[in-house]
A and B are shown apart, each in its own frame.
Chain A
Amino acid sequence: MATEAPARPESHTAQRAVVRPGDRIFSLASLGAGILIVVILAGVALFLLAQSTDVIKASFEDPTQITGGKGFFAYVWPLILGTLVSAAIALLVATPFALGIALFTTHMAPRRLAPVLGYVIDLLAAIPSVVYGLWGLALAGHLTPAYQWLSSVLGWTGIFAPGADGVVSQTGRTILTASLVLSIMVLPIITSLVREVFLQTPRLQEEAALAMGATRWEMIRMAVLPHGKSGITSAVMLGLGRALGETMAVAMILSSGGLTLSLLVGGNQTIASEIAQNFPEAAGLRLSELISIGLVLFVITLLVNMGARAIVAKTSVKGS
């Protein structure tokens, strides 16, 4: 360093390192930002907890007060199931597509086409979820013939069974439709994250595979996929986070009704859609009820994210 700190009494300078004001301000600012996040998170959690106490109390004292009349747990578990099932189907559909698109744009597509395709996928993320909801409603009607066919072939499995009247939902506003729309909504997130990971595959690894006489697909299996494993996991988990919390589109598509096993008839709510559909008219205990299922959703997404971290930490590849 060319500049020297101004001379000070020796006893102080000898022991204490020089602290520059810029460093000090920056470290305080970043510390503040870090603390703020924790405070906000804690604030949200406290708010949800405080608002939920009434419901928990009521549920123990007099379960009939709760919607459905059988206590809080009986009310919330079908919603949890609906949320998890719709998110799981969305991921099941979206992940293979996302991997395929990411591989295509990074390793297969002609050089001119690849960026255009990547851009188009990113645009999918820019579509507001209300628009997805409208589109989903329009789509729903057209899906009924496919659902009818599905129920005639796979109806025996139960999850594709027709309704009590022997037919599937004629409006197509079912949880399967909602899941399919969700899968398109999470597709851009997963694709763009996975694409970034694939682009970062060390060139040396790719060349190592190619130089041994690997075909392009073998090279992808040897070098690209193992390198991207943890990235793929975290991308899918982030997609899961979005699918769990997505509200507007799902609320618009789903028709009201309770939990049913079949994915092809009306009914089956997610937590987010239940809140969105009932919040405008809710007051008193009902309002508190909705907030408390919000708390449940908060806990689920928190667990999902923690799980994702744990998996990523376990599977990340050491070395280049």
Chain B
Amino acid sequence: MSKQITIDDLNIFYGDFRAVEGVSMRIEPRTVTAFIGPSGCGKSTVLRTLNRMHEVIPGAHVKGSVKMDGQDIYAAGVDSVNVRREVGMVFQRANPFPTMSIKENVLAGVRLNSQRLGRSEADDIAEQALKGANLWNEVKDRLGLPGSGLSGGQQQRLCIARAIAVKPSVLLMDEPCSALDPISTLAIEDLINDLKEEFTVVIVTHNMQQAARVSDRTAFFNIAGTGKPGHLIEYKDTETIFSRPDKEETQNYISGRFG
């Protein structure tokens, strides 16, 4: 299921503006990789190129290659819609569809992929996904109620359930806990730990403790100044990054010293 991601000399542009320059890295299957760095350094941008979501912004394009198990997702003839079915995404703010029930939210992606879905089959998929997102016990008695009635942390786990229901190979998370309280954050972090059994997980976070807690590998991005492109500074095992980084820039950032 889980896939390896190889990024080779990736440059990301918004129109003429180069937002990210020369990123190369390899993300192994069944690992959690954290992207850290100051705001505007391009870590979210890089994340969004992994499922071609940056293309939602008009004028955005890339140079270089992103390969999933050797297949270039930017090759001619590759449909971004198919890429996104393979690479799930969870956003900064929980965004369940407000008009759908909890169960329908979970099944939304599945219904896109296979239009006809038997009732018991649908029930099974929803249960599996909700169990996978550690939400089943909290919502099993109210699957028919709207998803917007859940708490923030539950909504975020509902979005994770929705993303994993389609059985993607990669799961991208863009600051999934930044709007949550510590207890909900803990629940999501535990979940991320479970998720890496099945998926390649890439998470963007501003919280360095979180990166240290959940990830196997950490990539530090930085930006030379406003208007300059972001760079990948260092990409190593999480333990190494946080204990003895190679670069002074990394050391400064993780210890809270800037400039």
Contact = CB atoms under 8 A, between A and B. Distances in A.
A213 B98 contact: no
A211 B51 contact: yes
Nearest to A205: B95
A212 B53 contact: no
Given A111-B58, A204-B93, A210 B108 contact: no
Interface in A222-271: 222-223, 226-227, 229
A317 B98 contact: yes
Nearest to A211: B89
Contacts of B148: 318-320
Interface string B87-99: 0110101011111
B98 A210 contact: no
A219 to B, nearest CB: 10
Nearest to A212: B109
11 contacts: A204-B93, A207-B56, A211-B89, A212-B84, A213-B85, A213-B113, A226-B97, A229-B99, A318-B146, A320-B98, A320-B148
Contacts of A208: 91, 95-97, 159, 162
Nearest to A229: B99
Contacts of B96: 208
A218 B112 contact: yes
Contacts of B108: 209, 212, 222
B93 A213 contact: no
A227 to B, nearest CB: 8
Interface in A166-200: none
B117 interface: no
B82 interface: yes
B60 to A, nearest CB: 13
A212 B163 contact: yes
Contacts of A211: 51, 53, 84, 88-89, 91, 163
A206 B163 CA distance: 15
Q: Which 10 A-B pairs have the closest CB atoms?
A: A213-B85, A319-B148, A212-B109, A211-B89, A204-B95, A226-B99, A213-B84, A319-B98, A208-B95, A317-B98
Contacts of B56: 206-207, 210
Counting chain A residues whose Cβ lies within 8 A of the other chain, the interface size class is 20 to 34
B244 to A, nearest CB: 37
B19 to A, nearest CB: 18
B166 interface: yes
Given A218-B112, A229-B99, 13 more contacts: A205-B95, A206-B56, A207-B91, A208-B162, A213-B81, A213-B85, A213-B166, A214-B112, A222-B97, A223-B97, A226-B100, A319-B146, A320-B148
B91 A204 contact: yes
A206 B96 CA distance: 11
Nearest to B59: A111
Nearest to A214: B112
Interface in B71-86: 81-86
A208 B172 CA distance: 12
A202 interface: yes
Contacts of B85: 212-213
Contact of B81 (A214, A222, A317): A214
Nearest to B98: A319
Nearest to B58: A111
A215 B79 CA distance: 10
Contacts of B86: 213
B185 to A, nearest CB: 20
A315 to B, nearest CB: 10
A218 B145 CA distance: 23
A263 B19 CA distance: 62
B112 A210 contact: no
Interface in B130-183: 146, 148, 159, 162-163, 166
Contacts of B91: 204, 207-208, 211
